[in-house]
A and B are shown apart, each in its own frame.
Chain A
Amino acid sequence: MDAPNKDMNSSKSTASDALPNLSSWRQYKALLRKDIAQEFRTKEMITSMGLYGMLVLVIYYIALSRTGTDFDITTIAAGLLLLMIVFTSMLGLNRSLIHEHDQGQLEALLLAPIDRPIIFLAKATTNLLFLLVVQLVVVPFFYVMFVSGSMPILMGDVTPGPWWKLAIALLLGSIGIAGIGTLLATISVNTKGRDFILAVLFIPVMFPLLLVLVAALNAVIVGGTGYEAEFWTMCAAALGFNAIVIAAAYGLYEFILGV
Chain B
Amino acid sequence: MKRELQLALILAIVGGLLTTIAFVMAFTTASMQHHNTVVNAPGFIDTVYELAPPQLQPNPPDGTVNYHNPWFSQKIFYFHVPLAQLSLLVFTIAAIFAGLFLKFRDPKYDIRSRIGMETTLLFTIGTMISGSMWTRASWINSWGELGRVLLSEPRLVTYTVMLMFVVAYFVLRKSVEEEEKRAVYSAVFTILAWIIVPFSFAYTRLTQEHTAHPTDVLQQGMDTSNLIPFIIAIIGMMAFGYAIYVLRVAEERKRAQLALIKEDIEDKLADL
- A: which residues have CB within 8 A of B? 180, 183, 187, 190-193, 197, 200-201, 203-205, 207-208, 211, 244-245, 248-249, 252, 255-256, 258-259
Contacts and interface: CB of A to CB of B under 8 A. Distances in A.
B235 interface: no
Interface in B167-198: 167-168, 171-172, 175-178, 180-181, 184-185, 187-189, 191-193, 195-196
Contacts of A204: 161, 164-165, 168, 193
12 contacts: A190-B181, A193-B175, A201-B168, A204-B168, A207-B157, A207-B164, A208-B157, A208-B199, A244-B195, A252-B191, A259-B178, A259-B180
B29 interface: no
B184 A259 contact: yes
B185 A256 contact: yes
Contact of A252 (B161, B167, B171, B188): B188
A245 B172 contact: no
B192 A249 contact: yes
Given A192-B175, A200-B171, 9 more contacts: A187-B185, A204-B165, A204-B193, A205-B165, A208-B158, A208-B196, A211-B157, A249-B192, A252-B188
B152 interface: yes
B229 to A, nearest CB: 34
A200 B188 contact: no
**Dominant secondary structure at the A interface:** helix
Interface in B190-216: 191-193, 195-196, 199
Contacts of B168: 200-201, 204
A187 B168 CA distance: 13
A190 B192 contact: no
B176 A191 contact: yes
Give 4 closest A-B pairs by Cβ, nearest first: A204-B164, A191-B175, A192-B175, A207-B161
B86 to A, nearest CB: 21
Nearest to B103: A255
Nearest to B152: A211
Nearest to A192: B175
A30 B99 CA distance: 32
Contacts of A258: 184
A122 B175 CA distance: 27
Nearest to B196: A208
Interface of B: 102, 152, 157-158, 160-161, 164-165, 167-168, 171-172, 175-178, 180-181, 184-185, 187-189, 191-193, 195-196, 199
A233 to B, nearest CB: 11
A205 B184 contact: no
A125 to B, nearest CB: 20
A110 to B, nearest CB: 14
A203 B165 CA distance: 9
Nearest to A257: B184
Nearest to A256: B188
Nearest to B180: A259
B101 to A, nearest CB: 10
A154 B237 CA distance: 60
Contacts of A191: 172, 175-176, 185
A214 B161 CA distance: 17
Nearest to B166: A204
A207 B195 CA distance: 13
A187 B172 contact: yes
Given A204-B164, A207-B161, A208-B157, A255 B188 contact: yes
B176 A190 contact: yes
A245 B193 CA distance: 10
A228 to B, nearest CB: 19
Contacts of B160: 207
Contacts of A256: 184-185, 188
B96 to A, nearest CB: 15
Contacts of A205: 165, 192-193
B202 to A, nearest CB: 13
Contacts of A207: 157, 160-161, 164
Contact of B102 (A197, A245, A255): A255
A200 B187 contact: no
A245 B195 CA distance: 8
A200 to B, nearest CB: 5
Contacts of B192: 180, 183, 205, 245, 248-249, 252
A256 B102 CA distance: 10
Contact of A197 (B171, B181, B196): B171
B168, B171, B178, B180 pick with most chain A CB within 10 angstroms: B168
Given A211-B152, A252-B192, A203 B175 contact: no
